[in-house]
Amino acid sequence: MTQHLAPASTSTYEPLGPIDRKLSNAVAAILNSVERVDGQTVARQLPTPELRQAVAARIDGIRRTLSPLDRSTAEKERAARAIAAMLSGWINARVADPQAKVATYVTTLADLPCWAVQSVCADLARGRVEGVDPDYPPSAARLHQLVEKAIAPLRKEAYALDTVNALTLEAKQPMEQERKRIALQLLDLRDRLERGNEEEHQARQRVKFEQNAAALTAQRDRVGREYAAFGLVPPSPLALSMTARRDMALRDEVDTFAPAGAVQRDGRPAGLA
């Protein structure tokens, strides 16, 4: 978010005014249509070219106003004066080398905009900062926290604007690894839908077993009757079961489904090996 300036630059930046109400409403409407799809930010509507232009201009303004003070010699001097003026209000903050102390503060605040440092220093000098004891000067670290808090709304706004500018209507195609993961999840879902829970699956298996046992018994009885109809001695129960199982395995063939007592092409009872 920072703009790179030459180290010896004498540029200065001022605080940015609030976002235009119309632009703010348009951005909010776009963000309200945003949803997350496979970890990506996708919108149901995209900003118009005019809105994109306005958003880009606002982002550029925020980036300039948030430029760190160490990018400009003039900014560092302004910040130093503001810090020195603030610390002068506390007798217990006076030291033998005030310039060295101020320089320490400036170094600590180097990544923050000068105007924000000036604003917070002025509020501290007047005792207007909530949570800070006006009887004691803030440390450089505490001052850094206060300035960060002051510019947080601008950073939040810039993030929202960047999000709007980066929106797409469709999610990007997942990578190969992601597609495999999704495919496995779909297969697992299909299996759960087909099987149901474990109790339902076991119940269906029991029903299937009972149906198969009944079909096997009926097939075995039919083969036995066909042997008897031709005056033949039925084979052993084991042989009958094997024959019945074979007939069940071949039930899609025409001869297997011949009526009881029917004769195959070779003259043997239907279902006879």
Looking at the fold, whether 28 and 158 belong to one and the same domain comes out as yes
What pLDDT score was predicted for residue 2? 39
Report pLDDT digits (tens) over 190-221.
777 776 667 777 777 788 888 888 887 887 78
Looking at the fold, whether 112 and 147 belong to one and the same domain comes out as yes
158, 82, 64, 72: which is closest to 119 by C-alpha? 82
Residue type, 142: R
pLDDT at 233 over 60: yes
Helix (H) or strand (E) holding 123: helix 114-125
DSSP three-state, residue 233: coil
Report pLDDT digits (tens) over 69-114.
999 999 999 999 999 999 988 876 677 788 999 999 999 999 999 9
Cα(144)–Cα(153) distance, integer angstroms: 16
pTM: 0.56
Looking at the fold, whether 77 and 138 belong to one and the same domain comes out as yes
Q: Is 223 exposed, middle or buried (CB count within 10 Å of its CB: 0-12, 13-18, 19+)?
A: buried
Which of the four pLDDT bands, split at 50, 70 and 90, describes residue 12?
low
Number of domains observed in the structure of the chain: 2
Looking at the fold, whether 147 and 196 belong to one and the same domain comes out as no
What pLDDT score was predicted for residue 46? 82
DSSP three-state, residue 170: coil
Q: Is residue 43 part of a domain?
A: yes
**Domain hosting residue 132, numbered range:** 21-165
Last residue of a domain, one of 165, 195, 226: 165
Looking at the fold, whether 129 and 228 belong to one and the same domain comes out as no
Q: Which residue has the higher pLDDT, 35 or 50?
A: 50
Q: Is residue 52 part of a domain?
A: yes
Looking at the fold, whether 125 and 29 belong to one and the same domain comes out as yes
